[in-house]
């Protein structure tokens, strides 16, 4: 049998080695795991684990990074196309003291992102910078986020709030509508409730909350505009950032779909 220690990179045999994990603790031959490329936490007996070499991990991570780059480039292209369409429209401004729409487009929304994973928080900070967005990123463990969100909202006064980290649905308990069957969903729900205590208007503060396999329905009911995961799926660390970017760069005067 292989010997494991905290910090080792592993994958689970029973899941066909589909996700890379880092071991965070080991108790009675059961390892606590945190996803390296997806926002999930899990546990597994040592006999179900396999060490993943640095070369294998780097190869898998490289493939994921390529996929992320494709998604980001697609997102950038969509945003640029939207801006070009707006700029091509003739703007008649009779009042010289009113900013033109083109100038307003250059002021995207401000983001407050609270993440339970320090490595994801650091990566998110870099990506927001590359996106040209004003984002304040804090690393706060999931169970403490709701205790800090109100004061941070008062301090930052953002347009967009992201509450992320890791989560997991305990499938062996088989009841997706029981909050006790989720690792961290109750903390995301409490965080959203605190945020809505600060700003109840869904347009004034847009909220994305949750992680892999989170209790989607409860997070949305608490007041989030977006949440993961509707079908208890795994989400990439880029998903909340792409949502945030799209919202931040969407003009507030964008044409609405007429009601029938």
CATH number at residue 171: 3.40.50.2300
In this prediction, residue 83 carries a pLDDT of 56
The residue from 18, 34, 52 where one domain ends is 52
258 token code pair: 């007429």
pLDDT digits (tens, 9 = 90+) for 60-96: 887 777 776 776 677 666 666 655 554 544 444 445 4
d(C-alpha 166, C-alpha 219), whole Å: 14
Q: How far does the chain reach from its first CA to its final CA, in angstroms?
A: 65
Residues 142 and 214 in one domain: yes
Residues 158 and 228 in one domain: yes
- The kind and range of the H/E element at 47 are none
Q: pLDDT digit of tens for each residue in the chain (260 aa)?
A: 689 999 999 999 999 998 999 999 999 999 999 988 888 889 999 999 999 998 888 888 877 777 767 766 776 666 666 555 545 444 444 454 444 545 544 578 899 999 999 989 999 999 899 888 999 999 999 999 999 999 999 999 999 999 999 999 987 778 999 999 999 999 999 999 999 999 999 999 999 999 999 999 999 999 999 999 888 988 888 889 989 988 888 766 555 555 55
In this prediction, residue 224 carries a pLDDT of 98
How many folded domains does the chain comprise? Answer: 2
Q: How many residues does the chain have?
A: 260
Residues 237 and 138 in one domain: yes
Residues 130 and 235 in one domain: yes
* Residue 4: Cβ within 10 Å count: 16
pTM to 2 decimal places: 0.77
Q: Is residue 178 classed as helix, strand or coil in its secondary structure?
A: coil
């Amino acid at each position: 049998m292989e010997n494991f220690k905290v910090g080792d990179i592993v994958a689970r045999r029973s899941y066909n080695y589909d996700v890379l994990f880092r071991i965070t603790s080991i108790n009675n031959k059961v390892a606590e795991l945190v996803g390296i490329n997806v926002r999930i936490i899990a546990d597994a007996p040592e006999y179900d684990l396999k060490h993943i070499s640095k070369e294998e991990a780097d190869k898998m991570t490289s493939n994921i990074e390529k996929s992320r780059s494709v998604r980001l480039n697609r997102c950038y292209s969509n945003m640029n196309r939207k801006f070009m369409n707006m700029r091509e429209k003739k703007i008649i401004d009779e009042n010289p003291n009113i900013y033109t729409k083109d100038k307003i487009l250059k002021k995207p929304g401000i983001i407050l992102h609270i993440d339970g994973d320090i490595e994801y928080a650091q990566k998110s900070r870099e990506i927001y910078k590359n996106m040209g967005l004003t984002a304040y990123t804090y690393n706060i463990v999931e169970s403490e986020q709701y205790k800090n969100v109100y004061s941070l909202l008062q301090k930052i006064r953002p347009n967009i709030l992201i509450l992320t980290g890791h989560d997991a649905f305990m499938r062996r308990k088989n009841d997706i509508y029981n909050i006790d069957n989720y690792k961290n969903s109750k903390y995301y729900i409490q965080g959203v409730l605190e945020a809505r205590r600060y700003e109840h208007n869904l347009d004034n503060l847009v909220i994305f909350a949750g992680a892999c396999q989170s209790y989607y329905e409860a997070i949305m009911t608490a007041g989030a505009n977006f949440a993961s995961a509707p079908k208890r799926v795994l989400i990439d660390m880029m998903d909340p950032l792409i949502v945030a970017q799209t919202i931040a760069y969407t003009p507030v005067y964008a044409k609405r779909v007429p009601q029938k």
